[in-house]
Chains A and B, each alone.
Chain A
Amino acid sequence: MRILTLASRNVRRNWHRSLVTMLAMAFACFIMIFFSSLMEGMMQGSERSVVSMNMGDIQIHAQGYRDDPDIYTRIESPDALVAEIEKQGFRAASRIYSYGLLAANMASSGVQLRGVDLKQEMSVTELHRHLGSGVWLDEDDSNGVVVGKKLAGTLGVELGDELVFVGQSADGYMANELFRVRGVLKSVSDGIDRMGMFMPMQTLRDLMAMPDGTHEIVVIRPDRSSDLDIETAKIALLAEGLEVKNWKQLMPVVARMIETADVQIMIMLVIFYIAVATVVLNAMLMNVFERIHEFGIMKALGVSPWQLVGLVFAETMMMALLAAFTGLLGGWWIADYYQTHGIDMSAIAGSISYGGIAFDPVWYAALTAESLIYPFVFLLLVAALAVIYPAAKAALLSPVKAIYFR
């Protein structure tokens, strides 16, 4: 008996029901691919917001700086360290920080000044592309600064407005200087939004009378898929005596949230496929019951129970494969579409922030091999499982009863 020929004829014979079953399966596959690529996109997007905007993958500080950000707690000879890290294939940039008071008009606010190494920083983080208005820092415009979004609001300043800074320099004198707003950032993180002020590193060094040393080195790994802990250990080896932490250690809450997204995808997958399994089970059961008479005759003609099982399985698999391919193609297409276009959530949410980190309101899908293969394989597996019962039912029929079954 040629099972495949027979099965394909059976599928075509009741093409209405076959089509509906296949559509249900294809739709499930399609939705799952779309969903998992969206979730993957959210995970990647969140990691990107956290890591590439400001945090970097790994940060190096002098011991104790993070607990007490004292201007004197510095990493000595940072340039050598940065060069060494870059030799290992990473990208790294130094930053210096200082605190003080910023005033404009009659309003004032505490600020965190950040001196940015313009040559290095742009290759490490993407902050320079995250401006709401104005332009990024320029070495030639030493008193042009970029400020956080909320800070600009608090002080009521716009592009080109004047800012007065007062603080205390490292040698104990009053540091004061006039700055001009060159750019205003979009939402980055709570700290930066509220009190961040960025300037070229040399400007801050002059202002603070701090000719050398740096407070922080940010490192970004060349390959996003490499193991973060191993890379952290590599950097820790280079930065002896300094505190080396990766972003997951620095922001455990956000890291945890991103990790749990994986579990969410799995849970959704399971729920969805249970629904699909019911549809398949129902369709195949109907199929079997409708053909009890026919199966009875087949058995009477000498078709073995295993051949009947094979037949029912073959019919199901044929439909499932066809459906899975359709779903795969459709899912691939839509995931690819949203990978480039993104879903703009800003209309609904404005700015989304979690754990003090602002997330990109445009939600991009991310197409990965897993998000394509898992739904595909899952669908075939579920169909195979769901059809066990109807197949067994058909195999165990007693021919005489079945022939007279009405």
Chain B
Amino acid sequence: MGTTDHLYAAEDRTTLILNRVDDLWRGDSSYAVVTMRVKTEHYTRTMRMEGWSKGKEKTLFRVLEPLREKGTMTLKSDNHIYTYLPKTDRTIRLTSGMMMGSWMGSHLTNDDLVKEARLEEDYDASISFEGVRDGQEIIEFTLTPKPDAPVVWGKLLLTILADSYTPLEERYFDEDMQLARTFTFTDMKLLSGKMRPALLRVVPADRPDEYTEFIYEELELNIEVSDAMFTKASLKRR
């Protein structure tokens, strides 16, 4: 009996921490202004966009800068991704064949957008390390996808600061358990009334010289967002 109690307690704690991590940027609904910086072997580009989300199913991004791409929108509604192209004034739906394609030239794929998950719902988590590493008190979670979760990864390693539950690093491993990419979280800043990491950097493991950065400029959580915003029709109206 004692051991089960202890297990439950451990589980509760893990769940609690993971939800805290998830809610750092999302909440029930959110509005954010983000700058995306992509550096690859062949180009470096910066893009500023604003985005709304509601739950984990609905997300909408609109490009603010550069001028050349201003107004381009990406709508994720359930499992579909639509892109609105102001230049051609057309909305298109991305087919499954395009899911592994890069999203807006970044190191994220369209699939990452669709599969955006709450850690606690799709993964079984366990604490694999707790203690001091590189002079910081940290907790490291090993997350393995639940059998029926729509996840392409083999496992995730999530490292957070022990005292504030602030994520430091998230490492994605593919199904062969090879490191695929690393997310790092830095630049603590006051966002939506709380200190949160404002800089999220993705580095693909096979191209360590390249990266995509997301810099949060503005973040509002749990705001009023209408469902009508996340429909195909709304793309055209804007």
Assess whether B105 is in contact with A166, with CB atoms less than 8 Å apart: no
Which single residue of chain A is at the shortest CB-CB distance from B66?
Answer: A173
Chain B residues whose C-beta falls within 8 Å of the C-beta of A171 in the assembled complex: 42-43, 45
> At the interface, yes or no: A103 with Cβ under 8 Å from chain B?
yes
With beta carbons under 8 angstroms apart, the residue of B38, B43, B85 that contacts A166 is: B85
- Shortest A162–chain B CB gap in Å is 8
CA gap between A168 and B95 in the complex, in Å: 16
CA distance A101 to B44 in the complex (A): 23
Query: Contacts A168-B105, A173-B68: A110 and B45 contacting too (C-beta < 8 A)?
Result: no
The proximity string for A residues 80-116 relative to B, scoring 1 for CB distances below 8 Å and 0 otherwise, is: 0000000000000000000001010010111000000
In contact, B98 and A110 (Cβ under 8 angstroms):
yes
Beta-carbon contact of A103 and B93 below 8 Å: yes
Q: Do residues A176 and B85 form an inter-chain contact, with CB atoms below 8 A?
A: yes
Binary per-residue interface labels of chain B (10-36) against chain A in the complex, 1 for a CB within 8 Å, 0 otherwise: 000000000000000000000000000
Given the interface contacts A166-B85, A170-B42, A172-B105, does A109 sit within 8 Å of B93 by beta carbon? no
Cβ of A174 under 8 Å from chain B: yes
Number of A-B residue pairs with CB-CB distance less than 8 Å in the complex they form: 60
Task: Kindly list chain B residues whose C-beta atoms are within 8 Å of the C-beta of A337.
Answer: none
Contact check: which of A103, A172, A174 meets B90 at CB < 8 Å? A103
Complex contact A164–B92 (CB within 8 A): yes
A194 to chain B: closest CB distance in Å?
11
| Residue of A72, A103, A168 with most partner-chain B CB within 10 A | A103
Known: A72-B42, A166-B83. A174 touches B92 (CB 8 A): no
A177 at interface by CB-CB < 8 Å: yes
Q: Does B94 contact A (CB under 8 A)?
A: yes
User: With a CB–CB cut-off of 8 A, which chain B residues contact A164?
Assistant: 85, 88, 90, 92
A178 within 8 Å of B (CB atoms): yes
> Is B51 in the interface zone, CB < 8 Å from A?
no
User: How many residues on the A side are at the interface (Cβ–Cβ under 8 A)?
Assistant: 18
Question: Which of B42, B85, B88, B95 is in CB contact (< 8 Å) with A172?
Answer: B42
Q: Say which residue of B38, B45, B68, B90 sits within 8 Å of A178 (CB atoms).
A: B90
Are A101 and B92 closer than 8 Å at their CB atoms?
A: yes
Interface 1/0s, chain B 77-96, versus A by CB < 8 A? 00000010101101011110
Q: In the bound complex, how far is the Cα of B38 from the Cα of A9, in angstroms?
A: 97
Q: Which residues between 96 and 122 of chain B lie within 8 Å of chain A, taking CB atoms?
A: 97-98, 101-102, 104-105
Asked whether B184 is an interface residue with its Cβ less than 8 Å from the other chain, the reply is no
Given known A101-B101, A173-B69, contact A109–B85 (CB-CB < 8 A): no
Instruction: Note all chain B residues with C-beta closer than 8 A to A103.
Output: 90, 92-93
A172 neighbours in B (Cβ, 8 Å): 38, 40, 42-45, 105
- Bound-state Cα–Cα, A166 to B44, Å: 20
What's the Cα separation between A168 and B85 when bound, in Å? 13
Known: A109-B95, A110-B95, A110-B97. A176 touches B88 (CB 8 A): yes
Q: A176 to nearest B CB, angstroms?
A: 4
Q: Which of A159-184 contact B (CB under 8 A)?
A: 164, 166, 168, 170-174, 176-178
Q: Which residues of A contact B69 (CB under 8 A)?
A: 173-174
B68: nearest residue on chain A (CB-CB)?
A173
In the assembled complex, 19 residue pairs joining A and B whose CB atoms fall closer than 8 Å, in A order, are A101-B95, A101-B97, A101-B98, A101-B101, A108-B98, A109-B97, A110-B98, A164-B90, A166-B83, A168-B102, A168-B105, A170-B42, A171-B42, A172-B44, A173-B105, A174-B72, A174-B85, A174-B105, A177-B88
Q: Taking A108-B94, A172-B44 as given, write out 9 further A-B residue pairs in contact, using a Cβ cutoff of 8 Å, ordered by the A residue number.
A: A103-B90, A103-B92, A103-B93, A171-B42, A171-B43, A172-B38, A172-B43, A173-B68, A177-B88
B positions within 8 Å CB-CB of A: 38, 40-45, 68-69, 72, 83, 85, 87-88, 90, 92-95, 97-98, 101-102, 104-105
